[in-house]
Structures are given as structure tokens and as C-alpha cells.
Amino acid sequence: MVIPYSTQSINQDDIDSVESTLRSSYLTQGPAVAQFEEAIADYCGARYAVATNSGTSALHIACLAIGVGEEDWIWTSSNSFVASANCARYCGAKVDFIDIDVETGNISIHALEEKCRNITEKKLLPKAVIAVDFAGQPCQLKALKALSVQYGFFIIEDASHALGAEYESCKVGSTQYADITVFSFHPVKIITSAEGGMAVTNDEDLAEQMRLLVSHAITRDEQKMTDCSEGGWYYQQIGLGFNYRLTDIQAALGLSQLKRINEFHERRVLFKKQYDDFFSEIDHEIVEPLTIERNTQSSHHLYVILIKNNKRKLWYDTLKAKGIFVNVHYIPIHTQPYYKQCFIRWKIPQPFLPNTLQYYQQALTIPLFPSMTDVQQNEVISSMKNIMLTQQ
């Protein structure tokens, strides 16, 4: 039996939705994309949503929309997928990394505050902080917002893990704190469109910028043109954009998946609780799950445990050998050779992130996904029990 750490759940409705798009007039640039955008905006309570062909491209256009360029610094946490930092590099910006809270894996507000306070020149403050809602738990957004006001930076919330999560009873993406919130619909995430992403915002100008950027910055809106339209065929390219469009086939899948999100969430909550029950019997000096803060509701994208007795590799290898495909989220971005090279070029020291490194030594993601069965979860639990009995 092979058990992945996460995988998609596709049912007949999903297949029917994709099939009907395949049989329609539009495979791309048709009605499904706009419907998907509206459905996500409605779901998370955002005013505007712009679909993209990946979470990564959504992060890229979010950076461009707020004006990130070569002179700028972007700060993010190192405990994330490389895309959280790469999006800034695509704009030529430099990236620095903030330490995390070990208990949650999220950006440490304390470390961020301290770093802001120690900056002596205004131009070294970040243009934006990319706040990653790690494992589906929202960052401490109110405190983040207070710092963003004090020090004058934008907040891009990388909510690739966190569709459906809540911060103080507000859905992630209702964006009263973040300027732009980004979701990913990669198959391992909360819902999938195969590849795909979405950037949501309450700011009309940012939404308009992002809408242009996903399709070559081409407009057919005469209001935006430098001259009058020359006829029905006429368009103008008014900036430098990309082809970051989601297809209608993908949007059809995303739409049908979104209808199932409550069902998915209930399954995740159930499995999360069953793991919690198991770990509540275990000495937390040895193994401890991540902490969920009281003012957040996680989407439970990942179930991460911290193995504190230096046996993480043993756990990984033993479980993997049994077909339980556990994973490690994440290898700290700042330790990647590419970024090490960057720090040398930018003449800054390697970021000092003790919590991130400690977390990385201990973290293991165990399987949790909506289509997991009780039999599979019991297999994971009994295998972990076995490791603790025989190897500790």
C-alpha cells in the first residue's frame, strides 16, 4: 500500500465538468475562467480575483502590481516553497528572509519587528513582505498589518496552503490585512485545477494591473488606450505582460472542486483530530504536532510533526520503506545554492535564522488528504507507534 502525503480527489462531477468544457466552444479564454474567478472571490469574500496558470505566476503578478522592481527588497520566511521568494527575483528585487516561530512554521512577528527596527536606511526596508500561511494556518495578520503601516510595506499573503482557512473568523482572502492574497491549485493543495492559481484583492487598481499582466498587458478598453480605437479588431499593448492565463478546462475543474471544498475540509478536520488524539498520548518532548493559534482556523493542508530526538531521518526512511510517502516541508529557501550565490552578489551575510534551521531538522509531514481512508490513517499511526516502540 502506497500512501502519499497529499493527493487530489477527483470524482465524477469533476470529470463531467471538464468533459462539458472539452465539448464546448472554448478551451481557453471562454466563460469558465470568469466563473471560477467569481466563485473564488465569493467564497473567500474578496472583491476581485484574477486567475492564473499557477500559484507562482499569481505571486509574480502580485509583486509586479505593487511595483516591485530592481531597487527593492522583498522579505519572506525561508520555511516555504522556493516560489515564495522566486517571484521577487523575477522582478529583479533582492530577497531577505525572516525567521519563523518553531511552533507554527509561520513568520515570527517578533523577528520581523526587530529586523525592521534595526534597519537604518529607509531604502533597505522591504517593499513588501510575502507572508506564507504555512500548512494552512494564517499568519498573525493583524500584527503584520500594524508593522506594514508603521514601516510602509505591502503585504502579499502566500495562501497557497490556506484556501478556506480563517483568521479571527474572516476567511483568508477577505484581505482586510493583506494587499493581495494568492492561492495555488496544484493537485496537492486544498482544491485543484491541475496547475492553476488565483490572486485576490479588494483594491481595484491592483486587480486591474494584475488582469492586464496575465495576458500580455493587452487591452481592448478604449479608456486605457493612448489613442482612439481603429476598429473592432483593435487592441493596444500598454505594458509588458505575460501569457499566464488559466485555461477553461482547468477552470471547469477548479469550479467543480470548489463545490466540494466543505466536504474536503470536513475530511481534513476529521483526520487532523484523529492524529491529534494519537499524539496527545505521546511525550511532546519527543514528538509534537504544530500548534494552531487560538485566533486562526487552519485549512489543515499539511499535518507536520516535530521529531525532537534527532530521529527525523530514521522516521522518514522507515515510513518511506513501508510505502508511506512522508515529506519534509520545507528545505529552508535561504540554504539553496542559488540564494547563497545571491547573498554573495548582494554583499549581505547569510541570513541568521536559528528557528528555521531547528524546525527544518525536526519537521516531518505525514499523510493527510480528503480521500485518505481510515485504514490508511491507521496504517500511518501503527507504523509511527512501531518506530517509537522499536527505535527510541
Q: List residues near ligand PLP by CB under 6 A.
A: 54-56, 80-81, 83-84, 132, 158, 160-161, 184, 186, 197
Q: How many residues does the chain have?
A: 392
* Smallest distance, ligand PLP to C-beta of residue 85, A: 9
Q: How many CB atoms lie within 10 A of CB 103?
A: 15
Answer positive or negative: Cα dihedral of 95, 96, 98, 102.
positive
* Smallest distance, ligand PLP to C-beta of residue 188, A: 7
Q: What does the alpha-carbon distance between residue 304 and residue 323 come to, in Å, rounded to a whole number? A: 18
* Smallest distance, ligand PLP to C-beta of residue 232, A: 36
Continuous segment of H or E residues that includes residue 377 = helix 374-391
Q: Which three cell numbers stand for residue 112?
A: 520581523
Specify whether the CB–CB gap between 192 and 186 falls below 8 A: yes
* Smallest distance, ligand PLP to C-beta of residue 246, A: 11
* Smallest distance, ligand PLP to C-beta of residue 204, A: 25
* Smallest distance, ligand PLP to C-beta of residue 84, A: 5
Nearest to ligand PLP of 81, 303 (CB atom) = 81
Q: Which long-range contacts (CB under 8 A, 24 or more apart) does 148-154 make?
A: 150/116, 151/116, 151/125, 151/126, 152/125, 153/75, 153/125, 153/126, 153/127, 153/128, 153/129, 154/66, 154/127, 154/128, 154/129, 154/179, 154/180
Nearest to ligand PLP of 173, 278 (CB atom) = 173
Nearest to ligand PLP of 264, 278 (CB atom) = 264
Nearest to ligand PLP of 21, 56 (CB atom) = 56
Nearest to ligand PLP of 14, 158 (CB atom) = 158
Q: For the chain, state the CA radius of gyration.
A: 22
Cell 491541475 identifies what position? 194
Cα–Cα–Cα angle for 55, 88, 107, nearest 5°?
A: 80
Nearest to ligand PLP of 190, 387 (CB atom) = 190
* Smallest distance, ligand PLP to C-beta of residue 52, A: 9
Nearest to ligand PLP of 68, 132 (CB atom) = 132
Q: How many CB atoms lie within 10 A of CB 1?
A: 9
Q: Tell me the residue nearest to ligand PLP as measured from the CB.
A: 55
* Smallest distance, ligand PLP to C-beta of residue 201, A: 17
Of the candidates 189, 188, 167, the residue with the CA atom closest to the CA atom of residue 178: 167
Nearest to ligand PLP of 17, 79 (CB atom) = 79
Edge-first strand order for the sheet with 303-307 is: 287-289, 303-307, 363-366
DSSP track, 323-362? TEE-B-S---GGGSHHHHHHHHHTT-PPP--HHHHHHHHH
Beta strand segments in 84-212, E = 94-98, 128-132, 154-158, 166-167, 170-171, 180-184, 197-201
Surface-to-core class of residue 22, CB atoms within 10 Å of its CB (0-12 exposed, 13-18 middle, 19+ buried):
exposed
* Smallest distance, ligand PLP to C-beta of residue 123, A: 27
Nearest to ligand PLP of 215, 236 (CB atom) = 215
Answer positive or negative: Cα dihedral of 185, 299, 309, 103.
positive
Nearest to ligand PLP of 161, 267 (CB atom) = 161
* Smallest distance, ligand PLP to C-beta of residue 344, A: 25
* Smallest distance, ligand PLP to C-beta of residue 245, A: 14
Nearest to ligand PLP of 33, 384 (CB atom) = 33
Q: How many CB atoms lie within 10 A of CB 185?
A: 32
